[in-house]
Structure 1
Amino acid sequence: MGAFSFLSRVLHTKPSNYSKILVLVSVSSGGLIAYAESHSNNETKIVEQSQPEPKRKRVVVLGTGWASISFLQDLDVSSYDVQVVSPRNYFAFTPLLPSVTCGTVEARSIVEPIRNILKKGNGKIHFWEAECLKIDAKEKKLHCRSNIDENLVGNNDFSLDYDYLIVAVGARVNTFNTPGVLEYCHFLKEVEDAQRIRRSVIDCFEKAVLPGLSEEERRTNLHFVIVGGGPTGIEFAAELHDFVHEDLVRIYPEVKDLAKITVIQSGDHILNTFDERISTFAERKFQRDGIEVLTGCRVVSVTDEFINMKVKATGENVKVPHGMVVWSTGVGTRPVVTDFMEQIGQTNRRALATDEWLRVKGCEGVYALGDCATVDQRKIMEDITSIFKAADKDNSGTLTVDEFEDVIEDIIISYPQVELYVKSKHLLEVVDLLRDYEGNKQGEIDIEGFKLALSHVDSQTKSLPATAQVAAQQGAYLSRCFNRWEQCKRNPEGPRHFKGSGRHEFRPFSYRHLGQFAPLGGDQAAAELPGDWVSMGRSTQWLWYSVYASKQVSWRTRILVVADWTRRYIFGRDSSRI
């Protein structure tokens, strides 16, 4: 009020020492209002000048999983208008889902509300609890629908425009179109899945102790079958074994000898993505624990009473009675991703194809991360001629060892498969690629020899596994690209450089494997860590505890998880159906 009172007095004053008055007052709207009085025409002119902020690019993120959270935590939100769309308003620490199924860890201990995580943006990140139904790549528009109770007032459908879209919706369970799987099997992808499994396990025991059942019926009700011998299936089998033999046998002593756990694996070994030593150790431990492992068996169909499977070695069809089945055999695309892939011509694929910078191929401004995407690494042989020309500085038509050494670092950065090739061959120096068949270094090499030296490199290209570790690294990488993009005003998609200034301002994504764990029950675990180091036993279980506690996204969940582990050691697991 003081400013406006002062302004009023000035406008009604006729000064004698000057012919014009100029007063600038800043108002809450953010603009400047200029007032001027001129004695020449005795008219007051008011000019309003606004200074709007430059429009920020809108970044829409689909999903609240590992990739999305990693991207949002590191993104400079002051440079973008960021909006997040997801049907769940929390982040879940999915590696602990098997522990939730048996009450080792409570469901709320592994989830963090998404709005708590987004607080760091000081309200600059907007979250909408809804499911994206369709991506309109041509119009750069999303069609969404809220999953909130329809009895509440207001329209559930809405649309969002985007400048950049981050698709990180994860994946769903791949049933391979096996009959009966959707109707009679449990899955283990979401927190709700783990809670349903927990209730089902208790139901099986409660049913088995009812009077009037035969022993065969009790055995059937207490036969727990896990289809899939990957990390998730094996960890659940181990957790279930501990739950049954450490807690439930004391509560249901009349059926303590009837419970059985069976793992069905189509391959020759369980944990076939791990080191062979870990796979063998896991099979032997399961054998000692009484967990049956059926390898080389393919499930043909599932009914409410039986699993029909085919033994690959003999071709025999076998029926296995069950009380509960958990299906854990890989991942498939979600409907919104499948529809989007058809729009952009990526049909008959298991996931969205991206380039090395995680940009969806054939679609401008769209990036894909995590389980819903796969990186199509560019083949080095496609660029071999341009690489040779860049390395041949004197245009002699041949490369010396020194010229090759000058360019090899750039090659490894742009084509990660080169580094994999070097490691797989156990070469001490990259320049060893220039050795001849007798192992002698050649003084120079021509284009044909250069091609021959690198001809097998592309065979080292491997698809990245659908793990939380990959998704988190991709999210962190893409956020660095976006932050760097805003600073230097250049596209994060490249271009690829082999010489000159500014090279590798946006390096392609390169996954760094930090190891993986396989908890096997009985306070024993196996670990495959960098440097070809394999660890197994009780000490590895404590390493697993420390790593998983440290990887929680907040101190709240970290404390809750450690408290749950402590409670389990003191009081055992909770056997209530809740």
Structure 2
Amino acid sequence: MRWSSFYKNASRVFNNYPSWSKSIVVCTVISGGGLVAYSDAKAENGNQSPKKRVVVLGTGWAGMSFLKSMKSSDYEIHVISPRNYFAFTPLLPSVTCGTVEARSIVEPIRSISRKSGVNILFSEAQCYKIDPKNNKVYCRAVQDKNLGGLEEFSLDYDYLVIAMGARSNTFNTPGVQEHAYFLKEVDDALRIRQKVIDLFEKASLPALPEEEKKKLLSFVIVGGGPTGVEFAAELHDFVHEDLSKLYPSLQKYVKIILLEAGDHILNMFDKRITEFAENKFNRDGIDVKLGSMVVKVSENEISAKDRATGQLVSIPHGMVVWSTGIGARPEMLEFMKQIGQINKRALVTDEWLRLEGHDNIYALGDCATINQRKVMEDIAVIFSKADKDNTGMLDLKEFQQVVDDIIERYPQVEIYLKKNQMKDIHTLLRKSRERSITVDIEYFKEALSNVDSQMKNLPATAQVAAQQGAYLADCFNRMEFCERYPEGPLRFRGVGRHRFRSFRYKHFGQFAPLGGEQTAAQLPGDWISIGHSTQWLWYSVYTSKLVSWRTRALVVADWGRRFIYGRDSNKRRSIILALTPAIEVHNFPDRIIGFHLSILHVTVRLSAGEQPPPALVNGLLVAVAVAVAFRRGHGGRHPDTDQVTHDVSKWLRKLKGVFVCLYRPNRGLCD
């Protein structure tokens, strides 16, 4: 009764309004009802996410590159890793000797994911089991205390990206795990750094005999690859440029030995670089022993066999650093056994980085290797695909229709052509039949018979892993588009085209720092550069490759600190430098160590259009003034307090004017 009377009254009132008002009311009611219905539907389906879940295992180069390059919001991304940061591993040798601080080369993984603009979940845990049949991973939290039995959990996935990296390969050499130091992680570099200082402190004890000092200060590096060579160079510079000033009586006992099983160090580089490196190490007093195979490592000595003579030599040591290649992690070995993979070195994938036999699992970086398909395995189907008229003869016009797909599908063809200075694949076919413009299948086989000899496994480098991560992210970003419009090569053993182009590694060159501010570089086009100028190129390239402005600022600041103050030789695992705005003049040598960090911080904030905190700028002005007064007026001697106070005041007035000019006025930065 009430509703009918309300309806009659509302109708009578509504009829008194003009037609345009009635239209507005009707539209409002309809749209409001639609919004309510939409809200109810969304609430009912709130727990059902239509997004597919991508689980990423690892935060190394491959995992980081994948996360940085992901732009699509169509996926729910969950990252699992025992470390919550990304480490710039090419600078690990610099961390071992205090050239660069450990905190300068790491970036929180949550910070990287936040900047990518894609919602990414992270769990600090270790994946210990993968169940490909049920699309599930089992993980164990790193923080295994006070979790009330909740430290283990499982995650379902639609796609799995395995980027767990690898571990150092000991080749089952006795004693390596117990007595050698590795250089794969930031913690490894910090342990080496602390051990070096420990050895010098022990050797400086007054009651120690000379033989014991020689043993303690004998550093043995096993492996003449880039990591071993760079660490040997860093250690040599650290000893002769810094520790020799702190421990002058011990320098004569220091010996650095580099053991390499091959005929040369840096055997992946050009011969000119290899010879230069060996000659430089010889001049620097680094003992390079080629053809030496380590057979045993003990606490106080290392046993090596000379490959040429078979003679066994024992070398006393204070520390052994092992850098001889990589092997699969235990979790990966168990997974390989589970899926029946014969290759135990790494997970085997196809050219699209998919794990063989599993379309929704991808593996990249050091834990994977690409099984590139051979041309000769598909030679018959390639010929059949190209022979449109089924004559059994292939002319160049027919072949032109599939030539791009062949080069795209089999990258070794392009490598073979470049190596033999052939313009294109037509030149290869013409050479097989001289001037003939047609070939049959036998001549086709003969022409391509040597192409597969150019197949090589990709090196386990940061450059390869980063490119693989970016490639896979691009595939995920365009997954839906490429489902409708495939862009890959022809399926020679099927119908249609592959969804994506296969992964193609592009080599941008490689560096080998050799110490003494000298670096060797081998860049594409057989371009070789060695010397001091190349060192500055190395500084520039590595700065640009760091993942954030924060790490760039910190690393450049560390390099500057090393030039001014030398390397840090304090015996501790880490340090936090802070700048106090109010600096007491008589204690300034202990307070200005970090001023260069604030300079770079302010510069970065300004370049981004942000205003630095006034307290930071004021403190920075004081620190810079103190540093300039000290360096210019006192030549490193302990200064007179009154004189320094006068100089600091003078430089503060000058610097304040500079900062006021550089920063936006009327902001109170220097008030």
Q: CA deviation at 1:419?
A: 1.1
Contact 2:483 2:499 in 1 (8 A): no
Q: C-alpha separation between the residues in 2 aligned to 1:191 and 1:49?
A: 46
For residues 549-577 of structure 1, what are the alpha-carbon distances to aligned partners after superposition, in whole Å with 9 as ceiling and x for unaligned? 00010000011111111111111101101
Partner of 2:445: 451
Aligned with residue 89 of structure 2, among 94, 105, 114: 94
Contact 2:381 2:493 in 1 (8 A): no
Partner of 1:162: 157
Q: C-alpha separation between the residues in 1 aligned to 2:31 and 2:37?
A: 13
SS, match of residue 478 in structure 2: helix
Q: C-alpha separation between the residues in 2 aligned to 1:11 and 1:209?
A: 103
Pick the structure with greater CA Rg: 2
Q: CA deviation at 1:131?
A: 0.5
Give the structure, 1 or 2, with the largest relative contact order (CA under 8 Å, sep 6 or more): 1
Q: C-alpha separation between the residues in 2 aligned to 1:194 and 1:30?
A: 59
Aligned with residue 380 of structure 1, among 358, 362, 375: 375
Q: CA deviation at 1:403?
A: 3.3
Aligned with residue 135 of structure 1, among 123, 130, 143: 130
Partner of 1:144: 139
SS, match of residue 273 in structure 2: helix
SS, match of residue 568 in structure 2: coil
Q: C-alpha separation between the residues in 2 aligned to 1:431 and 1:488?
A: 30
Partner of 1:71: 66
For residues 317-351 of structure 1, what are the alpha-carbon distances to aligned partners after superposition, in whole Å with 9 as ceiling and x for unaligned? 11000010000000011111111111111134200
Partner of 1:38: none
Amino acid at match of 1:347: I
1:170-569 alignment, distance < 5 Å? 170-436=165-431, 440-489=434-483, 496-497=490-491, 503=497, 505-569=499-563
Q: C-alpha separation between the residues in 2 aligned to 1:340 and 1:96?
A: 31
Aligned residues: 557
SS, match of residue 308 in structure 2: coil
For residues 516-548 of structure 1, what are the alpha-carbon distances to aligned partners after superposition, in whole Å with 9 as ceiling and x for unaligned? 000000000111101111111111111100000
SS, match of residue 128 in structure 1: strand
Partner of 2:581: none
Contact 2:458 2:464 in 1 (8 A): yes
Residues 184 and 243 of structure 1, relative CA distance in 2, 3 Å threshold = same
SS, match of residue 285 in structure 1: helix
Q: C-alpha separation between the residues in 2 aligned to 1:28 and 1:326?
A: 67
Partner of 1:31: 38
Q: C-alpha separation between the residues in 2 aligned to 1:124 and 1:237?
A: 42
Residues 113 and 185 of structure 1, relative CA distance in 2, 3 Å threshold = same
Residues 492 and 566 of structure 1, relative CA distance in 2, 3 Å threshold = farther
Q: C-alpha separation between the residues in 2 aligned to 1:177 and 1:29?
A: 68
Aligned with residue 83 of structure 1, among 56, 74, 78: 78
Q: C-alpha separation between the residues in 2 aligned to 1:296 and 1:244?
A: 26
Q: CA deviation at 1:397?
A: 1.9
Contact 2:219 2:320 in 1 (8 A): yes
Q: C-alpha separation between the residues in 1 aligned to 2:126 and 2:99?
A: 31
Partner of 2:615: none
Q: C-alpha separation between the residues in 2 aligned to 1:500 and 1:303?
A: 57
Contact 1:525 1:537 in 2 (8 A): yes
Q: C-alpha separation between the residues in 1 aligned to 2:524 and 2:419?
A: 14
Contact 1:56 1:79 in 2 (8 A): yes
Amino acid at match of 2:210: E
Q: CA deviation at 1:212?
A: 1.4
Q: Structure 1: which 5+ residue stretches go unaligned? A: 1-8, 34-46
Amino acid at match of 2:276: F
SS, match of residue 182 in structure 2: coil
Residues 30 and 314 of structure 1, relative CA distance in 2, 3 Å threshold = farther
Q: CA deviation at 1:377?
A: 0.3
Q: CA deviation at 1:49?
A: 9.1
Q: C-alpha separation between the residues in 1 aligned to 2:87 and 2:188?
A: 12
Contact 1:435 1:442 in 2 (8 A): yes
Q: CA deviation at 1:310?
A: 0.7
Q: C-alpha separation between the residues in 2 aligned to 1:492 and 1:479?
A: 17
- Check if 1:55 corresponds to 2:50: yes
Residues 84 and 264 of structure 1, relative CA distance in 2, 3 Å threshold = same
Q: C-alpha separation between the residues in 1 aligned to 2:86 and 2:5?
A: 59
SS, match of residue 144 in structure 1: strand
More displaced stretch, 485-494 vs 395-404: 485-494
Partner of 2:660: none
Q: CA deviation at 1:425?
A: 1.6
Residues 79 and 215 of structure 1, relative CA distance in 2, 3 Å threshold = same
Q: C-alpha separation between the residues in 1 aligned to 2:104 and 2:378?
A: 50
For residues 194-224 of structure 1, what are the alpha-carbon distances to aligned partners after superposition, in whole Å with 9 as ceiling and x for unaligned? 0000000111111111111111110110000
Amino acid at match of 1:520: L
Q: C-alpha separation between the residues in 2 aligned to 1:228 and 1:499?
A: 44
For residues 384-418 of structure 1, what are the alpha-carbon distances to aligned partners after superposition, in whole Å with 9 as ceiling and x for unaligned? 12211222233332222343344322211110111
Contact 1:79 1:486 in 2 (8 A): no
Q: C-alpha separation between the residues in 1 aligned to 2:371 and 2:5?
A: 69
Q: Structure 2: which 5+ residue stretches go unaligned? A: 16-24, 573-671
Amino acid at match of 2:280: K
For residues 84-106 of structure 1, what are the alpha-carbon distances to aligned partners after superposition, in whole Å with 9 as ceiling and x for unaligned? 00000000000000000000000
Q: C-alpha separation between the residues in 2 aligned to 1:137 and 1:51?
A: 28
Query: Percent identity of the aligned residues?
Result: 61
Q: CA deviation at 1:510?
A: 1.1
Q: C-alpha separation between the residues in 1 aligned to 2:30 and 2:493?
A: 57
Residues 500 and 376 of structure 1, relative CA distance in 2, 3 Å threshold = closer
Q: CA deviation at 1:149?
A: 4.9
Which structure is higher in strand share?
Answer: 1
Contact 1:70 1:475 in 2 (8 A): yes
Root mean square deviation, CA, Å: 2.8
Q: C-alpha separation between the residues in 1 aligned to 2:36 and 2:319?
A: 63
More displaced stretch, 17-26 vs 554-563: 17-26
Q: CA deviation at 1:256?
A: 1.2
Q: C-alpha separation between the residues in 2 aligned to 1:121 and 1:273?
A: 35
Contact 1:24 1:32 in 2 (8 A): no
Q: CA deviation at 1:481?
A: 1.1
Q: C-alpha separation between the residues in 2 aligned to 1:139 and 1:154?
A: 24
For residues 443-492 of structure 1, what are the alpha-carbon distances to aligned partners after superposition, in whole Å with 9 as ceiling and x for unaligned? 21111101110011111110111100000010111111112212243699
More displaced stretch, 66-75 vs 365-374: 66-75
Q: CA deviation at 1:144?
A: 0.3
- Check if 1:16 corresponds to 2:50: no
SS, match of residue 122 in structure 2: strand
Amino acid at match of 1:447: I
Q: CA deviation at 1:77?
A: 3.8
Q: C-alpha separation between the residues in 2 aligned to 1:183 and 1:569?
A: 36
